[in-house]
Structure 1
Amino acid sequence: MKSLPLFHRIAGQRVVVLGEGVAAEAKRRLVVRAGGVPVGEPEAHGAALAFVVLDDERDAKAAVRRLKHFGLLVNVPDRPDLCDFTVPSVLDRDPVLIAIGTGGASAGLAKALRLRLETLVPQRLGDLARALHGARTALRARWPDAGDRRRMLDQALGQGGALDPMQDGAVDAVPAWLEGTAEPDGVEPVEIVLTSDDPEDLTLRQARLLGSADVLLHDRDVPVAILDRARADAQRIALPCDGPDPGGLVIVLRRAGR
């Protein structure tokens, strides 16, 4: 089941939770942890979300119909066909949240992946996020051009970079990095020749370049699965094309033999 991943802010807002028992209490804790206020169906006015944790399928479907009639988005645990949204397994490094979802296919798999990531992601990752947020004014002053600023952050946050987020000491390096004399790398176009239509065959370097690209110039038959490995806001231009260099980091994606 395809989904659009979103983070829904519910601080101070009502969230309907129907049901009793362990599973329902878990949903109430989840709501409270996100700053929301769990309420029953009679207090649904003003709410936007609802959790229906009812064992009886007929009761659950009836509750879903009622709540949807009032415009609420509804989640029913273990019944993805009744859900407007699903709840991911969340790795919390406040304010950084890493959400892992399977579209309702397997909550156990999502949890297993989260537990694996818990051992890899530093506890101070949230401190790094706050440090970068606090440095926004200094970042704009240091690199006024948005493209330069993004490229410098990409370099610093990349593996082995000055602010590598997988290293606990990254947060302490922010002031020194801002005061450094480094300038953005050159932005000459980089050509990637695809060896197959499978995005899993991309090399680590190719995947990194796609993730940093500002512009993709691509053969028209490059698979969408590979184009989607780039940033969602990267400009896509099918080849051949005319006109001036669009600027920024340009990646040229070619099929083999072109």
Structure 2
Amino acid sequence: MKPVRKAVIPAAGLGTRFLPATKALAKEMLPIVDTPTIEYIVREAIASGIEDIVIVDGKSKRSIEDHFDSNPELENNLREKGKDELLKIVQETTDINMYFIRQSHPNGLGDAVLTAKAFIGDEPFVVLLGDDLMQDEVPLTKQLIERYEETGESTLAVMKVPHDQVSEYGVIDPAAEASDGLYRVKTFVEKPKPEDAPSDLAIIGRYLLTPEIFEELENTKPGKGNEIQLTDAIDSLNNRQHVYAHEFKGSRYDIGSKIGFLETNIEFGLKHPQTRDQLRAYIKELAAKL
């Protein structure tokens, strides 16, 4: 069984939920306190043992490439001023095996993953979506890799959500629980009505896939939104080899919506050593006025 060494991070979306900020700035570069959201995703991959990362981007995403490139002028300025801690932070993002592929047309998540076929080759790999930040003692991507080492099969991350919210997600119809928190998937149901949902286990933005997914993607017809849907291809893959779901029990932060983005900034700001005390005092002062 080949080890999981590579990751695909799709980042070609237009970011329309965050207009006008994303008119000229990649949504993935919007910061949580002082760190671009995509850097959190990359850090999770690296902390999980991933060696090579490909970012599938699109037009107006140059800022992502620049962020993970060296900036000699900035680095020299920080070095001359003795700002060693800031210099270390800046240089950390350049010492990564990072590659970029352009998705020429917005044809869906499945198409974005398919563009990475030549990069992945015949190896298992992980897909990390940028709208979800995950925190746990063991990174979620690492948890998926450990599950793959048990089963040798594709494994998706799922999380229990309130039953009245299942219509916002794709959910799994699970077979019997294979082991603690690991389910064999019978089928996938995209955004079901609560009364029709087979479970409350919603698919969240982490996938570990075997290379056979590419054949399925190549044969997947456009689905919702006239786009190639990754879930459709995974459902098809499930007919030829087992697909499992791993239940994530850590903290998930939805940064794909305005309110989720604001909530995440507040929570992370309350943990950041440079902002937590002042932010806590400000929130108390603001609450007293409401």
TM-score range, shorter-chain basis?
A: under 0.3
Higher RCO (C-alpha 8 Å, min separation 6): 2
Alignment TM-score, normalising by the size of structure 2: 0.22
Structure number with greater Rg is 1
Alignment TM-score, normalising by the size of structure 1: 0.23
